[in-house]
Amino acid sequence: MKEMEKYDYLIVGSGLYGATFAYFAKRKGKNCLVIDKRPHVGGNVYCEQIEGINVHKYGAHIFHTSDKKVWDFVNTIVSFNRYTNSPIARYKDRLYNLPFNMNTFYQLWGVTTPEQAIERINMQRREALAEMGITDVASFSPANLEEQALSLVGRDVYEVLIKGYTEKQWGRPCRELPPFIIMRLPLRMTFDNNYFNDSYQGIPIGGYNKLIDGLLDGVECKTSCDFFTVYRDNWRDVAQKLVYTGPVDQYFDFRLGRLDWRTVYFKHYVKNIPNYQGNAVVNYTDVEVPYTRVIEHKHFEMFGPDVDKCPKTVVSEEYPAEYSEGMEPFYPVNNIRNNKLAEAYQQMSRQEDDVLFGGRLGCYKYYDMAPVIGQVMQLWAGDSEP
């Protein structure tokens, strides 16, 4: 750019929100500068190639949507494969299919028909409510997540598949977690292991870097560039508008207090065998196992004989943790305190001239990938620019 000429947009964060925004802005003839504090673009969908395998460095990302416009759009950037998410749960060396379906119920109880499964679940629900001393089911209001889960699915599903995983994920006992975390637990009375109900799902062929690189093609990017140390005080000298996808409370210097986050860290291993666990995602629901799941990355993109053609494999153990300064925030903690604080920050953000807050961190909401892209597409759908 010419000296002193401003960018139209300074985009803080090169994840899906920032990269998609830059793509559509460029198509409208806008000049963008995308910055990211990490040494790479792509945010949490970034992949590192190890032993010929695209490793999801920040956890498993499976693209799924029923929005045909979003699906068609991402496939114009890179073709997606046929990957179908069918995770396995492991509890004390026994395996169970997820989501909860007829395969799961057969593995738990040996039932073979939906009628038998429904009868067993209803019996366990009644037993759980009786143990809690609940006689008036219609007026029952669960006090915590454990009571909520027991009232929905009974003790076996809760103890084997929910309790340990949830306590590891949130770092506190289920009896101390609010019930709204699991407002409902889908029970499928079919032998269907497809985790999602969406019309479309898959992984970009060649990994998510192909998608990000396509979105950012021709856009100026700076990595290892922290907004708060480089541009916080002078961004208006650099750009007409700011697109901010970092933590909303940090933008306002934590003026109202700090929002709580859960985070995760990973231990990655190269195994000298072609196939370690036979599935991309295995959840460990036993509380004694410190990690929540093990990801075997090759199964996202290699199928059938191709699995064995690659002589090694890469697996990642995923460990949930309390967020602290210097870590990456992953999941908002949507309890009453944080939701109230987040809304106060959202009100402040709406008063910021020429600043657009977006993404999971900027909105303090957990978003799947497709809705994030859909939000940006909607912003640029009209004649006026965001």
Look-up: residue for tokens 């300064």?
Answer: 325
Non-local CB neighbours of 9 within 8 Å, separated by 6+ positions: 21, 22, 25, 30, 31, 32, 33, 239, 240, 241, 242, 243
Let me know if 8 is a catalytic residue: no
Annotated catalytic residue: which of 38, 120, 125, 188? 188
* Closest alpha carbon to 316 in 361, 276, 274: 276
In the set 8, 236, 262, 367, the catalytic residue is: 262
Question: Could you confirm whether 255 is annotated as catalytic?
Answer: no
Residue 350: active-site member: no
| Known catalytic membership, residue 136 | no
Catalytic residue among 293, 301, 323, 364: 293
Q: Which residues contact 330 (CB under 8 A, 6 or more apart)?
A: 44, 59, 261, 262, 263, 264, 323
Are 279 and 299 a contacting pair, CB within 8 Å?
A: yes
Would residue 232 show up in a list of annotated catalytic residues for this protein?
Answer: no
Closest CA to 107 of 164, 149, 157: 157
Given 159, 198, 368, 385, which residue is catalytic?
368
Q: Which of 184, 237, 350, 353 is catalytic?
A: 184
Pick the catalytic residue: 318, 323, 345, 360? 318
Catalytic site residue 262? yes
Strand order in the sheet with 331-332: 94-97, 88-91, 281-284, 293-296, 313-322, 261-271, 331-332
Residue 221 near residue 34, CB atoms below 8 Å = yes
Query: Could you say which DSSP state residue 193 is in?
Result: -
Active site residue 385: no
Catalytic residues, by residue number, are 184, 188, 262, 293, 318, 366, 368
